[in-house]
Chain A
Amino acid sequence: MSDAGAASSTVVISARALHKAFKKVQAVDSISFDIAAGSTTALLGGNGAGKTTTIGMIMGLILPTSGSVRVLGVDMARERHRVLARMNFESPYVDMPHRLTVRQNLKVFAGLYGVADVASRIAVLAESLALEEFLDRQAGKLSAGQKTRVALAKALINEPEVLLLDEPTASLDPDTADWVRSRLEDYRRRRNATILLASHNMAEVERLCDRVIILKAGRVVDDGAPHDLIAKYGRDNLEEVFLDIARGRAAALA
């Protein structure tokens, strides 16, 4: 788990009565939470729990039906362009132009994010994420693990204060996934960045996160530090806690 002492009490992400309905489906049902600066928080939940929709609303790509979400003090539904240069994200549902080389892709995003010294920033990322060997290869010709590293490089191109990650290690082998987690931990410590991630991987959440917000059917059903939740439910690990909640055993156990 990351160093909880790094977190300060400054609220970076604030959701208030956040609600999103798609026609008659309540994807996110009036959730509220604050996320402190320098912390790593996980949104945990099964398929359809509302994790991706919540992250979408935090990014401002999905408009809430009601409620509000603020990032770095800015209302993301109305003024998101004021803070987008200080944020970034990675998602397995999003790709980068296949015909561009990795270097070209990173140059384009460096330009979009207003990075001052593009060449040296790409060099730093290439070294820290081990991209050198395929920096001039087309993005479409990379393996899944290489693509994830490139997506992470894009997500870190502007050294974001707020990093949103949707299943950051999905489809990676255990070794590569572990390597990616180490890079994320390093980045958070060095930059005192705030990371919010959605994940199905309990080991990943236990290792990376100070705090877990558990969603079920669009509602927050529990919220706390991983070790506190494990103790609260009397389980050995977060996966067992998750299964208790997902299968409706939580009320009896908690």
Chain B
Amino acid sequence: MSGFSLRRIIAMLSRYLYVLRSSWPRIAELVYWPAIQMFTWGFLQTYINAQANVAGFNGRFAVAAGTLIGALLLWDSLFRAQLGFSLSFLEEMWSRNMANILMSPLRPLEFVAALMTMSVIRLVIGIVPVTLLAFWFFGFNLWGLGFAVVAFFVNLVLTSWAIGLFVSGLVLRNGMGAEAIAWSILFFVMPFACVYYPVATLPFWLQWVAWCLPPTYVFEGLRALLVAHLFRGDLMVEALAINTALLVAGAFAFLGLLDSARRAGSLLQMGE
């Protein structure tokens, strides 16, 4: 039997796409929450812009405020990509199908590859329409940022996979009690990733924490691009280096926690 099978990955993808196709509310939900967020922050940005003009900030404050909607779209991309990974994994737990999957010839890394692909598919379905709405309603063209957008997305998706791997491993090891982590872990990271404000805003000691998180580099890069019209390739490379380390650590954590679940004997009776 081959070590890495594209056919088995496609079989898993078809399983997740069947689920997605079977329910239009599931597809609508992928767009619904990012759209609600975008409209809320978009109108807030419009309001701030208006107030800044009245107060005579000569547009400087307004430009900074313009980063809000971009930061929101990127933050939501990170969140949705991580959910795309983790929820696909949790589908197996909710349907008590995990033992069938683990007993099949599917290799753990093929399983992970399918989850990664689903994370990108769900992200594209959810975020692309919202970026178009942002352009239509608020004139913010994320895609107009060119190559920088690719660098931002690559780094955010890599971070989401690393977190997804770690969360999935925890659920395998500890059961559905760990499910809440899938929903909440990124909100723990959010204040330190400096999504809506520069790293310099944080106390000095916390800035060290912020610079350990790859998303921080992306959001700093976004602000540099929108405020100073400067693409910070150095930040993207540094984020990529940290992401690579996190992804390797996430893969080892997933495999280690899977082995730990095999030792604990919990894989046969997993599910809600």
Contacts and interface: CB of A to CB of B under 8 A. Distances in A.
Interface of A: 20, 22, 27, 52-53, 56, 59-63, 81-82, 84-85, 87-89, 91, 93-101, 104, 107-114, 138, 154
Interface residues on B, range: 35 or more
Interface stretch (B58-66, B126-134, B229-237, B256-264): B256-264
B11 A108 contact: yes
Contacts of A138: 22
Interface of B: 1, 5, 7-8, 10-12, 14-15, 18-19, 22-23, 91, 95-107, 259, 262-265, 267-269, 271
A96 B95 contact: yes
Nearest to B23: A99
B100 A94 contact: yes
A111 B14 contact: yes
B171 to A, nearest CB: 16
B15 A97 contact: yes
Given A61-B268, A97-B19, A107 B14 contact: yes
B8 A112 contact: yes
B15 A61 contact: no
A113 B95 contact: no
14 contacts: A56-B268, A61-B267, A81-B1, A93-B99, A94-B96, A99-B22, A100-B15, A104-B15, A108-B11, A109-B11, A111-B11, A112-B11, A113-B104, A114-B7
Contact of B18 (A63, A87, A100, A110): A100
B268 A93 contact: yes
B97 A63 contact: no
A62 B262 contact: yes
Nearest to B91: A97
A113 B1 CA distance: 10
Contacts of A91: 99, 268
